[in-house]
Each structure stands twice: as structure tokens, then as C-alpha cells.
Amino acid sequence: MNDVMTTRGPISPTELGVTDYHEHLYVEPPAWLHKIDPDFALDSVEKSAEELKTFAAAGGRTLVEMTAVDFGRNVEKIKAVADAVPQVHVILTAGYNRPYYMGRWGYAVAESDMIRDTVRDLTVGIDGTSIKAGVIKCGTEYNNFGEIGRKLVRVAAAAHKETGRPIITHTTAGTMGYEQAAYLIELGVPAHLIALSHMDRNPDVGEHQRIAQLGTYLGYDCFGKAKYGPESRRLSLIREMIQSGLGHRVLMGNDLGRPSYWRAYGGGPGLDYVLTSLRQRMREEGFTEGELNMLFIESPRRFFARET
């Protein structure tokens, strides 16, 4: 069985338990981004540890920290947060988030250097430490799969081929998901080692089925964010995916990468929301324990174990 790399080193996929496939625990966003949107700075180890403890208390055992280098990843701080909550495994990401955050850097840096750095994060360690990433990120912009987006996808595919680690992408508002998956597959990445984030921003069940039929995972992570549509619509989407026999290709997360989403900063819904309120509502609305186990435990385990 393939191992899973965490901040504390490799573990067996059987140890993952209840998993949130896309989160942020500590973010120091680039200065230009902070100036136009200060609601991205998750920069207190104490508050992050406090928030992560609520996830642990709700039964959460693994969390994927999807902050890439261009969005302000800080490996030492994430390690400190993870070490404060020993019940939870934290998986770090290598690779790059999206062209918008890369700015001019996306054009200036050679693709070969980006591949080298991504592989180093996965095999040697991040930023001079021996702490390794366990997933690879890449991303594209809204309805746009342009030059830099394609470059980030190629970097992720090349790093995957050298390391075997799975890929979790960023989609902007759930667009370009099929295109990302198709390009990664064309570049030789097995479909079952690809997961597309934020796909419930665009809850188009037919499109999701078309992607899942490739064998690729769809990440749903907009729960508790009414600004992205009502919860009922996300729950019907999951129900329809299960009814069409593709529920095993859905991964659950919450992507709470803003202090206004965290109770530790006086916001909401909070890092335990999916495991407490949402899971309770799913039970009340007829999701079985078997379906909940599939969504929260079995599918992320299969993805990280690199099983088809």
C-alpha cells in the first residue's frame, strides 16, 4: 500500500480516518493581495490551533492544507499548528495555486525550475526543512485555460510523474474542471490521482458526471457559504451523484481560507461545521451511515492510497 506524507512523516492510508480534502490552516498572503483583500490572512498559530481543535473534537483525523507557495505557505507555522493538535494528520501541498496569484512570476520563472522546486518539496523538504508535501497543486482562472494555467498543470503532471503523489487542483468557480482533468490525463496522470477543487461552485450535475466518468474526483467545499448558493443545492448534488453510481468520486472539504470563516476570529461557519451541523443535517435528510463513511473516510483513503 502506498504511504501518505504528512507534516509528521509518512503514514498508512488506513490511519487517515475522517478527512477534509481542502483546507487552509496558516496563510501569509502576498502583500499586494493583502492590500486589496485583508480577509485572507490566517497568521496566528494560536488561533489556528484553537480552530483545528474543534475539527479534532468533531472526529476529524486528517486535513489537507492546500496553501501553495504563491498564496503564502509557511511550513514551520503549519507544522507548529499541527503539532499543537496531535490527533490530526496534516498533509501539505507542493506546486502552485493559480495564475492570478502568480502574477508576472508565472511568466518569469522557467517551467523546469518550477518542476525542480515542486519535486524538492515532495521528496527533500519545503523551504530548507525536512517536512515534505504530500499532494501537488495547480489551478486555472475563470472560464480560462490560458498559457500560465497550462504551465501550472504541466508542472504538476511532471512532479507527479517523478514522485507518484496525487494532484488536487484549484478551479475558479468550478470552471475548466473537465479541461484540467483531460489535460492531466493526456500528460500521463492516472485519472484516479486527480481531484478538482471547488466544483460545487458550479453545481452542474451533468458536467460533474462527465468528469467523474473519467475516473477523476470532484471536491465539494462550499458548505456553509450561502453566498455560493443554498446548502440544499449542494446536498441535492451529492444525492444525485450517489444515485447515478458516482458518489465514490466525491471528496468533502470546506476550504475555510479566510479569518471571517473561523470562529477563532469571531466568524463562521467554523472548521468543524461539515463534521457537526452539515453531517447531522445529512443524516436527517436520509444519507445513510454507509454513504457518510464513503464520503468522509473511504473515498479520501482510496484517493491517497492511490487505489483505482
Tell me the torsion sign for CA atoms 114, 120, 126, 131. positive
Residue 48 or 294: which CB sits closer to Zn ion?
48
- Per rule CB under 5 A, is residue 200 in the interface with Zn ion? no
Residue 99 or 287: which CB sits closer to Zn ion?
99
Contacts with Zn ion by CB under 5 A: the residue count is 3
Closest separation in Å from C-beta 202 to Zn ion: 16
Closest separation in Å from C-beta 22 to Zn ion: 5
**Contact track, Zn ion, 36-75, x by CB under 5 A:** ------------------------------x---------
- Per rule CB under 5 A, is residue 255 in the interface with Zn ion? yes
Closest separation in Å from C-beta 199 to Zn ion: 13
Closest separation in Å from C-beta 201 to Zn ion: 12
- Per rule CB under 5 A, is residue 272 in the interface with Zn ion? no
Closest separation in Å from C-beta 294 to Zn ion: 23
**Contact in structure between 219 and 191 (CB atoms under 8 Å):** no
Residue 63 or 294: which CB sits closer to Zn ion?
63
Please give, one letter per residue, the 3-state secondary structure of the chain.
CCCEEECCEEECHHHCCCEEEEECCCECCCHHHHHHCCCCCECCHHHHHHHHHHHHHCCCCEEEECCCHHHCCCHHHHHHHHHHCCCCEEEEEEECCCHHHHCCHHHHCCHHHHHHHHHHHHHCCCCCCCCCCCEEEEECECCECCHHHHHHHHHHHHHHHHHCCCEEEECCCCCCHHHHHHHHHHCCCCHHHEEECCHHHCCCHHHHHHHHCCCCEEEECCCCCHHHCCHHHHHHHHHHHHHCCCHHHEEECCCCCCHHHCHHHCCCCCCCCHHHHHHHHHHHCCCCHHHHHHHHHHHHHHHHHCCC
Q: Closest residue to Zn ion, Cβ-based? A: 255
Closest separation in Å from C-beta 132 to Zn ion: 20
Segment interacting with Zn ion, rule: CB under 5 A, options 6-14, 79-87, 237-245, 252-260: 252-260
- Report the alpha-carbon distance of residue 220 to residue 199 in Å, rounded: 6
Segment interacting with Zn ion, rule: CB under 5 A, options 114-122, 173-181, 240-248, 255-263: 255-263
Residue 66 or 251: which CB sits closer to Zn ion?
66
Residue 13 or 253: which CB sits closer to Zn ion?
253
Residue 168 or 189: which CB sits closer to Zn ion?
168
Residue 25 or 66: which CB sits closer to Zn ion?
66
Closest separation in Å from C-beta 262 to Zn ion: 14
Which residues here bind Zn ion, judged by CB under 5 A?
66, 255, 257
